[in-house]
Each structure stands twice: as structure tokens, then as C-alpha cells.
Copies of this chain bind each other. A is one copy, B any other.
Amino acid sequence: MTDPKNFEAPDLQAIRTAAERIRPYAHRTPVLTCSSLNKMTGSELFFKCENLQKVGAFKFRGAANTVFSLSENEVAGGVATHSSGNHAQALALAARLRGIPAHIVMPENSPKVKVAAVRDYGARIVFCPPTQRDREQTLEKVVAETGATFIHPYDNLRIIAGQGTCALELLDQVPGLQIVMAPVGGGGLLSGTALSCAHLDPKIRVFAAEPKGADDAFRSIRDGRIYPSENPQTIADGLRTSLGTRTFPIIRRYVERIVTVEEQSIVAAMRHIWERMKILVEPSAAVPFAAVLEGDFQTRGRRIGIILSGGNVDLDTLPWL
């Protein structure tokens, strides 16, 4: 499983097909630039705004690609997942668009706003105690009862192909990028991004960014084995998961480096983006720009594409207040 020479990954055609498949449903998100952030960093930054994607996150790309590529038979019982985050909303919306049920297992302590959002998209919510074990057991039960197809949030080739459509667009929108950056949690976005760059322009260097307090991906790649994410300590709630057996070898093969950043840099990066670019990003989305701010690798004078992964935040509790 951890042999980088022998793994499955979507090819360029699979990612292009995903892009065609989700086109009627997903936004082609804009790329924004900001002269004050360029000046601050000495780089040319191109921000791919997945915070402006449907459901406010890139997750809709993978969910839509997966839901719309399943056969009639496979979706007869609907789809199911466990998630308290953006994947839950993404899968709920994709299922509604296809007209099939979505069963979402959520921890009973999930923020009310997230529960309401999933419900708004028409999904059935099944609550469970807030442990990983309970989430998995409840999901198994739901799948057994309903015949739903389980859609993993990232360790799934269709999900990865869907997330890869984001970099496909970015490279079409901005010629001549030298570096492309994405945050890494479970690695769905990162592996899709790395594949699209490798297929389209192998000279592009792909960098990932991760909180120091949740650096399991950094350690996993360094040591060549998947470490579970244990007791992660970060405000970037989307990046607390561990790599999967699908995403690990792709990242190992195609990502040049995983940069880890301090919490205070994440908050500073998030606030800079809000203040200067006038867009909302969630903490996870600010992690790559935090890495640019920390300056631990050469960014000056470079054309850098940065994927802003999402914008779902609780407006009542901002991290700088």
C-alpha cells in the first residue's frame, strides 16, 4: 500500500471527464489577485477561489463527480458518509441534484450551523456519539439498512479526480505558474492538484501546506508510511484528518514538499486575505498563504497559484477576536 511505484491514480482523461461531468453543477471559480499581498510577499500570487464554489468549498467537485458517475444501480439506495464538515454538505447537495437520498452521519456535538446546512440540502442526518469508532459503526449500520453507497471524503479515485478539476481550471486561467500550493488534510485536494499539474505541466512545482499542530502528512511522507492524525491541535479544522491509502502514494510521487506552519501564521494569513482581498476564507484555506508568509521556501519573484479551499466559518467567533 505504501509502495509509490504501484498505485492507482486518475489519468488526465479521468480528470477532464470529471470536469465535463460537473460543469452543469459546479462554479468555474474566479482567480483573484491582490497587489498588496503581492507587495507583502514579493511574489505574484493567483488565488483560486474555491471558497466561492458551491457549498463554499472545493469538496463539491469531488462529491459531484462521484455522485454523477455512479450507475443507476449503485445509487438505488442513495449515498452515505460520515462527516461534520464540508464533505457532508457537498455530498448532500450533489445527491439532491441527482435526485437520490443522502444519509449523513454526524457527531451529535456538530455545530448547529453545519447541521442546518446539511439539512437544508435535503439530506437525512443520523447523529452518533462524537468518536471515530462511533462514526464508523453508525455509518456501517446506515449502509446496511439503506443499501446506500459509502462515499469516502477523500480516499476514493472519483473524489480525487473531481478535486483535480480545480487545478485543471487554474492552469487554464493562469498561464506560466511556477508553483501551485494546496493545503493537506486527508489529501484529496492535494493529490488531485498534484496529478493535474503533473499531467499538464510537469515543470510546475507542487507544494502542500499543513499546520505544525497536525503534521501527520509531513511525517508520513518523510517516513514513507501513513501516520494516523492523533489529537491534532489546530484551528484549521479541515486539516485534522490523516492521509489515505489512495492519496498517500500520489502525494509521495508528485508533491515536492509539505511545508508546516505555526497557528499564529494561519490566523494572520486568514486575516490578511479577508482584509486585503475582501473574501472569507476558513482557517484551513489560509494555510498555504501562511506558508508563503513564513517564507521558509523561495517564493520571491515566483508566479504562485494558491488554492483557497473553502470559506465556511462561524461569523460569531472569529479567531482574532
Q: A residues near B, CB below 8 A?
A: 30, 32, 35-36, 51-52, 54, 56, 120, 271, 274-275, 277-281, 311, 315-316, 318, 320-321
Cα A208 to Cα B277 in complex, Å, equals 26
Expressed in whole angstroms, the minimum distance between the Cβ of A321 and any Cβ of chain B is 7
Select which of B56, B278, B320, B321 is within 8 A of A52 by beta carbon.
B278
Contacts of A56 in B (CB 8 A): 278
Q: List 7 A-B contacts (CB under 8 A).
A: A30-B30, A52-B277, A278-B280, A278-B311, A315-B318, A316-B320, A318-B318
| Copies per complex of this chain | 2
Known: A52-B277, A274-B315, A278-B279. 20 other contacts (CB 8 A): A30-B30, A32-B52, A35-B54, A36-B120, A51-B278, A52-B278, A52-B279, A56-B278, A271-B315, A275-B315, A278-B280, A278-B281, A279-B279, A279-B280, A280-B280, A315-B318, A315-B320, A316-B320, A316-B321, A321-B321
Cα A277 to Cα B311 in complex, Å, equals 9
Contacts of A316 in B (CB 8 A): 320-321
Cα A283 to Cα B142 in complex, Å, equals 45
Contacts of A271 in B (CB 8 A): 315
Cα A64 to Cα B228 in complex, Å, equals 54
Cα A275 to Cα B35 in complex, Å, equals 25
Expressed in whole angstroms, the minimum distance between the Cβ of A259 and any Cβ of chain B is 25
Cα A320 to Cα B314 in complex, Å, equals 12
Contacts of A52 in B (CB 8 A): 32, 277-279
Expressed in whole angstroms, the minimum distance between the Cβ of A111 and any Cβ of chain B is 13
Contacts of A278 in B (CB 8 A): 51-52, 56, 279-281, 311
Cα A54 to Cα B277 in complex, Å, equals 9
Cα A321 to Cα B316 in complex, Å, equals 7
